[in-house]
Amino acid sequence: MRRAVRRSTAATAVAAVVTAVVAVAPSGAAVAATPPDRPVVEVEVPGPERGSLAGSGHVVVPQKGRDRPQARLSAAESAEDGRVTKLVDNGATDDRLDIVVVGDGYTAAELPQFHTDAKEIWAQTAAVEPYTTYEGMFNIWAVDAVSNESGVSGDPDRATVRDTAVGSYFWCGEIERLLCVDQVKLDRYVAKAPEADLVIVLANSAKYGGAGYNEPSPTLGYEGIATASAGNAKSGQVAIHETGHSLGKLADEYFYPDYPGYEQYTGPEPADSNISTRSAADIAAQRVKWHRWLGETSPDGGTVGAYEGGGYFVRGLNRPTANSMMRSVDKPFNLPGVEAMIAGFYRHAKPVTAVTPTDSPLRVRHTAKADVVNLAGPGAEQLTVRWYVDGKEVRRLAGRTEVRVAEVARYLVDRRPHTLTVTAEDRTASVRDPKVAATMKSAVNWKVRL
């Protein structure tokens, strides 16, 4: 059974812009001034613990947590601190999407539990499409962050303060369920893993909460951070929703029916791919946004159209379907959302990469080996692998991941260097945008000669 005790260091300073103006976020939280020496960042607030994300929103919070240095670790603890473990290995870091999971509020003795929690959060993520089909695109890394105290701040109550490695704390921005971190401390751990593309912070807590930092890291370049309580049943779904922002670049599709100022949207057309001021008829006529999916049955139920309410506004903005992952947890991504997520995956991963080095010519005795991404289920059929010599396809080699140069010797008509190429292309029906489809193909070239 999961342990119920979990806690961390509290910071009661609330979110802010650098001015002294007090504002109000859609969540209802007051936004106060932050000192000029403490950079700020906008974070996503998860919804109340009732299965819906409605009632969340954006709050501006300090990037750096409370200035309370962690007590010195013992020599044995220091040996554990910062250790990196590859939990899932699907290929070279440069060619796969690397998720780095960092735990907070775990003592050295609790690191085995952190590894179990990290595996659990990935299992929950991989159970949701399109992650299920594209699970083979991901590498998962766990970075051990040793805390002096077990648990995180704000759990079980606001007064609780814990000394932890990356300073996670509930009650961030005066919102109990908003679980923030000290990004300066966090990045010291993220930097230990190879080239993170996305970061998940697991707090050693069973309390409901989380946050989404959806701005790219200015120092390490990863796309965003999702925080979650490792021991809460809903946290996995909240973390997946947050990747919809960071990887899919999707807007929230929920709205605030009773919040002043969010009754009617009157601004310009949003850049986000999944909300629009246009009706379904206008989307179709102008061939914009999700026009390629109109009328199709979506995984989240119902038909793709234009449903009023989204981007926090009750009226004036439309969403593609009635209820998807970007509106409620425990719902699938809708069709436009699935396409956006796949586009995000291919920003970081390639369908084929070289195993045999490409920096020197191959001879007849050599073999050209490639690593082709492993797609799950019916998705495996959508990936086509082809081989070429000097641009001419050798059809009998289709589908293979390695070829002996001797097998193509008859195409090497002289002793000059020739080019052996393998390509892999993902032709999934889940992508209809030609610009996205163009990113879903890659090639490897070797020089070969007799």
pLDDT in tens, 70-91: 567 888 888 899 999 999 999 9
Q: Which of 393, 386, 398, 404 is nearest to 444 (CA)?
A: 386
Quote the percentage of the chain above a pLDDT of 70: 88
Residue 43 pLDDT class (50, 70, 90 cuts)? confident
**β-bridge mates for residue 103, sequence order:** 202
Please report which helix (H) or strand (E) contains residue 435, including its range.
helix 434-437
Structure confidence at residue 148 (pLDDT):
95
The band of 424, judged by pLDDT with boundaries at 50, 70 and 90, is very high
Q: Half-sphere exposure (CA, 13 Å, Cβ side) for 177?
A: 21
The average confidence (pLDDT) of the chain is 88
Q: Name the strand (E) or helix (H) holding 122.
A: helix 111-126
Residue pair 128/70 in contact (Cβ under 8 Å)? The answer is no
pLDDT of residue 20 exceeding 90, the answer is no
Please, which pLDDT band fits residue 42 given cuts at 50, 70 and 90? confident
How far is residue 145's CA from residue 114's CA, in Å, rounded to a whole number?
10
Instruction: Give residue 201's pLDDT.
Output: 97
Give pLDDT, residue 331. 94
Asked if 217 and 193 count as a contact pair (C-beta separation under 8 A), the reply is no
Q: Which of 411, 406, 372, 414 is nearest to 391 (CA)?
A: 411
Q: Given pLDDT bands bounded at 50, 70 and 90, which one contains residue 66?
A: low
Q: Which two tokens stand for residue 252?
A: 């929230």
Q: How far apart are CA 232 and CA 20, in angstroms?
A: 36
Cα–Cα distance for residue pair 243/237, rounded to 1 Å: 10
CA distances from 425 to 147, 370, 377, 386 (A): 45, 14, 17, 9
Mean pLDDT, range 428-450, rounded to an integer: 97
12 has a pLDDT exceeding 50: no
Give the integer Cα–Cα distance in Å for 161 and 141.
28
CB 60 within 8 Å of CB 29: no
**Per-residue pLDDT at 278 exceeds 50:** yes
pLDDT bucket at 341, cuts 50 / 70 / 90: very high
> Which pLDDT band, with edges at 50, 70 and 90, does 121 fall under?
very high
Pairing of strands 383-389, 352-354: unpaired
Contact 64, 182 (CB under 8 A): yes
Host H or E run for residue 443 = strand 441-448
Residue 183 confidence (pLDDT) above 80: yes
DSSP state at residue 271: S
pLDDT exceeds 50 at position 40 = yes
Q: What's the CATH fold of domain 23-246?
A: Collagenase (Catalytic Domain) (3.40.390)
Confidence at residue 380, expressed as pLDDT on a 0 to 100 scale: 83
Residue ranges of domains in the chain: 23-246, 352-448
In degrees, rounded to 5, the angle at the alpha carbon of residue 38 between the alpha carbons of residues 41 and 159 is 85
Tokens of 407: 């097998």
355: exposed, middle or buried (C-beta count within 10 Å: 0-12, 13-18, 19+)? middle
Q: Looking at residues 139-150, what average pLDDT do you find?
A: 97
Tell me which DSSP letter residue 366 carries.
Answer: -
CA distance 428 to 441: 12
Each residue's pLDDT tens digit, 374-409: 999 888 889 999 999 999 999 999 999 999 999 999
pLDDT-based confidence at residue 64 (cuts at 50, 70, 90): low
Contact assessment for residue 8 and residue 167, using Cβ atoms and an 8 Å cutoff: yes
Cα 138 to Cα 131: distance, rounded to the nearest angstrom: 9
- DSSP three-state, residue 272: coil
Over residues 153-171, mean pLDDT: 95
pTM equals 0.87
Distance separating alpha carbons of residues 176 and 173, to the nearest angstrom: 8
Report pLDDT for 2. 33
SS3 at position 205: coil
For the stretch 299-319, pLDDT in tens is 999 999 999 999 999 999 999
C-alpha to C-alpha distance for 411 and 414, rounded to whole angstroms:
9
The pLDDT of residue 448: 97
* 90-115 pLDDT tens trace: 999 999 999 999 999 999 999 999 99
In this structure, are residues 370 and 352 in contact, taking their beta carbons and an 8 Å threshold?
Answer: yes
* Beta carbons within 8 Å of 41's beta carbon, 6+ residues apart: 60, 61, 62, 63, 183, 213, 215
User: In sequence order, what are the residues at sequence separation of 6 or more whose Cβ sits closer than 8 angstroms to the Cβ of residue 151?
Assistant: 5, 6, 7, 8, 105, 160, 162, 164, 204, 205
Helix, strand, or coil (residue 316): strand
What is the number of alpha carbons within 13 Å of residue 182 lying toward its C-beta? 27
Give dist(CA 179, CA 190) in Å, integer: 18
Q: What is the rounded distance in angstroms from the CA atom of residue 187 to the CA atom of residue 196?
A: 10
Task: Tell me which of 31 and 206 has the higher pLDDT.
Answer: 206
pLDDT at 235: 86
Query: Fold match between 23-246 and 352-448?
Result: no
In the 8-state DSSP scheme, what is residue 297?
A: B
CA distances from 404 to 91, 153, 319 (A): 22, 59, 52
Give 328 or 444, the one with higher predicted confidence.
444
Given a cut of 60, whether residue 255 has pLDDT beyond it is yes
- What is the distance between the alpha carbons of residues 4 and 2, in angstroms, rounded to a whole number? 6
Q: What is the CATH number of domain 352-448?
A: 2.60.40
